[in-house]
Amino acid sequence: MDPVRLTIAPELAGTSGSAIHWLWRQVFLALGRPWQEVPLTAPCDLAYVIAPEQAPAAHTVILATPERWAAPGSARLVEVAIADAPFVIRYADDANLPMSVERREDGCVVPRDVLFDLYWLLTGQAERHWPQDGHGFYDLTGTTWAATRLLELAPAAEIVGWLQDQLEHLGPASPRWPGGKRAALAITHDVDYPEVVRWLEPARIVARQRGNGLGPAWRVLTGQTDHWRFPQWMEFEASFGARSAFYFVARQGSLVEYARGTPDPFYDVTAPRFQDLFRTLRAGGWEVGMHASYRAYESEERFAAEKAKLEAAAGAPVLGNRHHYWHMNPADVEETLQMHGAIGLLYDTSLTHDRYLGWRRGTSNPFFPYAQRSGREIGVLQLPVAWMDAQLMQRTDLTQPQREALACELIDRTATHGGLFVANVHDYVFDDELYPGWLATLRAGLEHVVARGDFWIATPAAIAQHWIERYRILREASAGLTLGLPDALRR
C-alpha cells in the first residue's frame, strides 16, 4: 500500500508541531493508511498549510489557522452541522469564515481548519468551561453539546470519515477490523456491588421501585436473591457469541469511608470466592480488568499497588482499566492518563460522561491521547465508551422501547463511522426483578448487533491489542510525523 503523501507548512511546526504530528498520526491510524512527509513543493495527497499557493501540487489542501492553535481553549462551540462535513462544528467567531469546499479539477481546498477542530474535540478543550460537581462530573445543562446531542453524533469521527473520502483515489486502506467487519463492540462491567449488604439493600430497592419493590426487597433481606450473577452473565453473553471484561476494584472500601466521601466497593478480591471466579472467567475467555479506586489517581504508588494486588489475585496480568466513578484528576485528566503508562496498562476506558450518552471526546475510534503540557502522545490506548446503563435507565422521560431504540441508534452510528461501541453495564443489574429493564436494553442492543452481522465482538483487551498492532505496522511503513512520539515508539 502506498503511503499518503502529506506536507505541512513549516510555520506550523513551532509550538504546535507536536500536537499537529500527533493528530495526523491518529487520523492515519483510524484510516489505516501509512504516511510520508514530503516537501511543500512536492506532489502530495494532503497539504496542511496557511495559504493554498504554499502547496501547488497538492490534491487536498486544508488551510490552517495559527491563531486557533495559539489559544485552543478560547474557541467556543455555538452550532453543529453534521450534514455539512467536514464543517461539522462552528465557533462563536466563525461568522466570516467560508463554509464550503472549493472544488478544483485535481482536488479541493478546505478553507476551514478542520484539523484544529479535531484537536479541539479530542483534547477536550470545551471541558475547561463546564461546571463540575463533587465527583468531577460535568454539567452540560444549557450548552450546545446538550441541545444538539452532539456527543451522540461523534463529530470527530465525521471529520475523519470525510478525510477518508478524499483519499479514495489511493485505493483500499488497511481493513479497520478483523474478518472484514465494519465496526467493533465490547461489553464491559464495572464490578461495584457483587455482594449485597442485606440489611441495607432492601431500602435501596424500595426507593427505586416504591411499592413494586417490596417483594424483591424481602427476597434480598431473607437471602433468597443477591447480586452475584457472574455465571448468568457468562451464559447470557455466550448466547450472543460474546466475551466481556469485568473490572474489579482491588482496594476494599467500607460503609464508613463511603459516608465520608470515598465510595469504594466493599468486597475483597483476595477472598477465595473471587479467586475462584477469576479462574472461571479467564478459562472461559472473559477478561479480568481493573476498576481503579476512587482516589487511585492521587498516588502513582497506590495506583500501581492496586494493579499488583489484582494481578496476584487473578493470577494473570491486568491489561485494562476503568476508573471507579470515572474519577480521574478533575483538574488535570491528562495527568491521570499518563499514570496509566507508568503502571504498565495497555489500555484505559474512562474518558466518558457519567450523565450523558455518547462519546465524550467526539470519536468512536480508539485513540492515543495527547498530553498538552509535555507535548507528548500518551502511549496507553483509550477505548471511548458510548453508553453506560444508567444514562438511559435513569431517564424517567423515556419508555423502555425508547431506551432500546436509542441504544440501537448509537450502534448504527458506530457502524457508519466504522468505529468501536463500548457498552458499560454494571455487574449488579442482571436480575430484572431488582433492576427492571436494565438487562433488556443490553439484550436489545446485542440482538441488533447480531442481526446486522457486521460487528466484531471481542473483549476490550483483544480490541486494544489489535489497534496497537495496527499502529505498529502503519508506523513501520511510514516516514515523518515523529514529533511528540513516546520514547518507546521512536525508531
Whether 88 has a pLDDT exceeding 80, the answer reads: yes
Q: How many CB atoms lie within 10 A of CB 238?
A: 13
**Distance from C-alpha of 94 to C-alpha of 102, rounded to nearest angstrom:** 18
Give pLDDT, residue 100: 87
For the ranges 207-211, 213-217, 384-388, 433-437, the lowest mean pLDDT is seen at 213-217
Name the band, by pLDDT with cuts 50, 70 and 90, for residue 423. very high
Let me know: does 54 contact 127? Beta carbons within 8 Å.
no
Nearest CA among 291, 290, 296 for reference residue 262 = 296
What is the mean predicted confidence (pLDDT) over 292-319? 98
Half-sphere exposure of 154 (CA within 13 A, CB side): 28
Which backbone phi and psi does 323 adopt, to 5 degrees?
A: -75, 135
Contacts of 9 (CB under 8 A, 6+ apart): 40, 48, 49, 50, 54, 55, 64
Let me know: does 457 contact 240? Beta carbons within 8 Å.
yes
Domain ranges of the chain: 4-174, 178-473
Nearest CA among 304, 307, 325 for reference residue 316 = 307
**Distance from C-alpha of 57 to C-alpha of 45, rounded to nearest angstrom:** 9
Nearest CA among 417, 277, 275, 297 for reference residue 348 = 297
**Distance from C-alpha of 382 to C-alpha of 379, rounded to nearest angstrom:** 9
Whether 429 has a pLDDT exceeding 80, the answer reads: yes
Q: Could you report the per-residue pLDDT of 116-167, keeping only the tens digit for each? A: 999 999 999 999 999 999 999 999 999 999 999 999 999 999 999 999 999 9
Q: Could you report the per-residue pLDDT of 223-241, keeping only the tens digit for each? A: 777 889 999 999 999 999 9
Task: State the chain's mean pLDDT as an integer.
Answer: 94
Which backbone phi and psi does 346 adopt, to 5 degrees?
A: -85, -40
Contacts of 430 (CB under 8 A, 6+ apart): 229, 232, 233, 236, 439
Greatest pairwise CA separation for the chain in angstroms:
78
Name the band, by pLDDT with cuts 50, 70 and 90, for residue 217. low
How much is the pTM? 0.96
**Distance from C-alpha of 138 to C-alpha of 133, rounded to nearest angstrom:** 7
In sequence order, what DSSP letters do the residues of 85-150 get, joined into one string? TT--EEETT-TTS--S-EEETTEEEE-S-HHHHHHHHHTTGGGGGS-B-TT--B--TTSHHHHHTH
**Distance from C-alpha of 255 to C-alpha of 128, rounded to nearest angstrom:** 33
- Structurally, what CATH architecture does the domain formed by 178-473 represent? Alpha-Beta Barrel (3.20)
Give pLDDT, residue 200: 72
Whether 179 has a pLDDT exceeding 90, the answer reads: yes
**Distance from C-alpha of 48 to C-alpha of 8, rounded to nearest angstrom:** 5
Give pLDDT, residue 490: 67
Whether 263 has a pLDDT exceeding 80, the answer reads: yes
Hey, what's the cell of 49? 498549510
Q: At what angle do helices 300-314 and 272-284 cross, to 10 degrees?
A: 80
